[in-house]
Amino acid sequence: MRHTDIREEDNASTVTQFLLLGFSGLPNLQGFLFGMFFIMYCIILIENSFIIVITRLDPALHKPMYFFLVNFSFLEICYVSVTLPRILYSIWTQDRNISFLACATQMCFFLTLAATESILLAVMSFDRYVAICNPLHYPMVMNPAKCTHLALVSWFGGMPFQLGQTCQIFSLHFCNSNQIDHFFCDIPPVLKLACGNTSVNELYVYIVAILLAAIPFMLILSSYSKIIATILRLPTAEGRAKAFSTCSSHLVVVVLFFGSASITYLMPKSTHSAVSDKLLSLFYTIVAPMFNPMIYSLRNKEVIAAMRRLLLRT
């Protein structure tokens, strides 16, 4: 296995190919890891595909809330497909080399889809805010045109920032080592390999994190503070329970995503360790997407009812 691919240019060593170390430090568990990740990938694909299909087939789920849920499920499929197939390939073939361009492409897609998830979660919280706090205006505010517009903003709003961030990172010189101690091309482990001062790049990471993570998260908190205040004013316990059940699953997903991702990207580079980076990244890139459909379906009575109607129909 080739561990370095470095060319001499102007008396500086510049990496032209990276090596994703991934889980190479666990040689006796390669078969187990491949089987585990393969099963998890299949579960994610099946769960999210099922939500997309059942939402499209059942007229009772043709509502703005489930329109955004379909977008979220498709996003989760794309999100995990940026990293998991590459992990499976590396474990199966033991070929951990990844070209400079492929690494940059993987990072760009991953960051763009992560930004999409952040914005989409904020949009979904706005949908719940309008539905619970302004139910009479809900059909007018969340009309099909507005829902489509919000979905497009979610998918493409973060793209220019993440494309710029990726170009900025991969315009750096990478010298002496090309070994990325991670299972995909993420910002913290790639920046560790850069030569010279990377403080400008780290500052850009914080700025983008504020724009595409902190601001959406604050909007979510604002929406839910008003939602909770409205729910507490409802006259009956049954009404409060019903209202809370429609948004509690979304709140759990928000905590899972923002909690683990913020620790990874807002911590200074010097405090990162390879083990903590991998564990946190596994959580928000694979584990959370696997549980998100379960959270949305098992805690949602309308989705459960739609599943029963579909099963009875077949």
- Give the C-alpha separation, 97 to 172, whole Å: 20
Instruction: Pull the structure tokens for residue 103.
Output: 């690494």
- Give the C-alpha separation, 281 to 184, whole Å: 9
Report the DSSP pairing between strands 17-20 and 179-180: parallel
- Give the C-alpha separation, 165 to 182, whole Å: 19
Q: What is the pLDDT of residue 298?
A: 66
Query: At 81, is the pLDDT very low, low, confident or very high (cuts 50, 70, 90)?
Result: very high
CB 278 within 8 Å of CB 183: yes
pLDDT in tens, 105-164: 999 999 999 999 999 999 999 998 998 889 899 999 999 999 999 999 999 999 999 999
Q: What is the pLDDT of residue 4?
A: 45
CATH number of the structural domain spanning residue 301: 1.20.1070.10
> Does residue 1 lie in a domain region?
no
- When the pLDDT of each residue in the chain is averaged and rounded to a whole number, the result is 84
Q: Is the pLDDT confidence value at 270 over 60?
A: no
Distances (CA, A) of 274 to 21, 37, 188, 215, 248: 10, 19, 9, 28, 33
Closest to 310 in 3D by CA, of 30, 60, 1, 2? 60
Q: Higher-confidence residue: 209 or 145?
A: 145
pLDDT in tens, 231-266: 888 777 766 776 676 677 777 788 778 877 777 666
- Give the C-alpha separation, 107 to 75, whole Å: 16
Query: At 8, is the pLDDT very low, low, confident or very high (cuts 50, 70, 90)?
Result: very low
Query: At 12, is the pLDDT very low, low, confident or very high (cuts 50, 70, 90)?
Result: very low
> Does residue 230 lie in a domain region?
yes
> Does residue 57 lie in a domain region?
yes
Q: What is the pLDDT of residue 9?
A: 43
Q: What is the pLDDT of residue 3?
A: 44
Q: What is the pLDDT of residue 295?
A: 79
Distances (CA, A) of 185 to 37, 205, 234, 251, 265: 18, 15, 48, 29, 14
**Nearest 5°: phi and psi at 98?**
-140, 130
> Does residue 92 lie in a domain region?
yes
Highest mean pLDDT pick, 82-86, 262-266, 273-277: 82-86
Q: Higher-confidence residue: 280 or 66?
A: 66
Closest to 115 in 3D by CA, of 52, 208, 48, 204? 208
> Does residue 280 lie in a domain region?
yes
Q: Is the pLDDT confidence value at 214 over 90?
A: no
Q: Is the pLDDT confidence value at 6 over 80?
A: no
Q: What is the pLDDT of residue 7?
A: 46
- Structural domains counted in the chain: 1
Q: What is the pLDDT of residue 124?
A: 92
pLDDT in tens, 174-208: 876 889 888 899 888 898 888 878 888 888 888 99
Give the residue numbers spanning the domain of 124.
Answer: 6-313
